[in-house]
Amino acid sequence: MDDLRELYQATILDHNKKPRNYGPLEDATHEAAGHNPLCGDQLTIRCHVDAEGRVDALRFEGQGCAISRASASLMTEHVKGKRIEEIDADFERFHELVTGSPSEPPRSEGLGKLAVFAGVREFPMRVKCATLAWHALRAALEGREEAKTE
């Protein structure tokens, strides 16, 4: 149960139940769907990039497990107002956090609330759930229509 509490932290359960920035986004400049064929998780990320290259608005919708929903919700809060290069760097750090070795202390500098996903390291089968929204966001910003986790 300890590993479970570590994985399903209160923040994650809360964002699963009440996802932030959920729903359609009017005036989106970028949009992509993320699909995890293994478990059927499916979500769409829409965002608006301003003249200075900052993501000043983004929202998501779709269906998925608690990890993928909470990850999408917390990601939208985390990256709002950031430049694309900053978001890429965040994704890299986030990816390291969820795929790192469980025997070493998790490194979550600069990730803020996203640190709650450190527990995913104990459940390698769930890494794709945690990173789905990020893959979709990156696809959207790169002008692709779809991101698949495999």
Partner 1 sequence: MSLDVEAVRRDFPILATQSRGRPLVYLDSAASAQKPRAVIDAMSDFYAEHYANIHRGVYQLSAEATRRYEDVRVRVARFVGAPDPNEIVFVRNTTEAINLVARSFGDVQIGEGDEIVLTTMEHHSNIVPWQQLAERRGATIRVARIDDEGVLDLEHLASLLGPRAKILAITHVSNVLGTINPIREITALARERGVATVVDGAQAVPHQTVDVAGLGCDFYAFSGHKIFGPSGAGVLWGRMELLEAMPPFLGGGSMIETVSFEKTTWAKPPQRFEAGTPDIASVIGLGATIDYLAGIGMDAIDAWEHELLAYATDRLLEIPGLTIHGRAKDKAAVLSFALDVAHPHDVGTILDAEGVAIRAGHHCAQPLMEHLGVPATARASLAFYNTREDVDRLVAALVKTRELFG
Which one, 46 or 128, has the nearer CB to partner 1? 128
Shortest distance, position 126 Cβ to partner 1, whole Å: 6
Shortest Å, Cβ 121 to partner 1: 13
Residues that bind partner 1 in the complex, under the rule CB under 8 A: 1, 3-4, 7-8, 13, 16, 38-42, 63-67, 123, 125-126, 129
For partner 1, give the closer residue by CB, 7 or 55.
Answer: 7
Give the nearer residue to partner 1 in terms of CB position, either 114 or 132: 132
Nearest to 11 by CA among 59, 93, 74, 58: 74
Burial of 114 (0-12, 13-18, 19+ CB in 10 A): buried
Q: State the Cα–Cα distance between residues 34 and 41, nearest whole angstrom.
A: 8
For the bound state, the minimum distance from the C-beta of residue 8 to partner 1, rounded and expressed in Å, comes to: 6
Contacts of 84 (CB under 8 A, 6+ apart): 49, 53, 55, 141
